[in-house]
Amino acid sequence: MVNDVLELESDKIIARIRAEFADELDQTKEQLEEAREETAKTKEIIRQLRAGKEIVEVADELQISTDKVNEIAELLK
């Protein structure tokens, strides 16, 4: 009887821990996907700037702020 109660309690604890880590894992996956998208966008900005496009052209084409493109352009100098 005591063993059954302990086993049930430990199962509840394990389930709670799994749920907590599942939430954290989902958040981490979302953050990773956002970082991948940001990296891809940054690579495209760099590619276009190196190809000779103007900051305004790149910003318009990628639908982002000129400040963001300008920031990357400054880093490329």
1: its two tokens:
């009887």
Which tokens belong to 39?
A: 């990296």
pTM of the model: 0.68
Name which residue leads in pLDDT, 4 or 59. 59
Q: Give the pLDDT confidence of 9-66 residue by residue, as tens digits.
A: 888 888 888 888 888 889 999 999 999 999 999 999 999 999 999 999 999 999 999 9
Report yes or no: 48 and 61 within 8 Å, Cβ to Cβ.
yes
| Alpha carbon distance 48, 42 (integer Å) | 10
Separation CA 22–CA 65 (nearest Å): 35
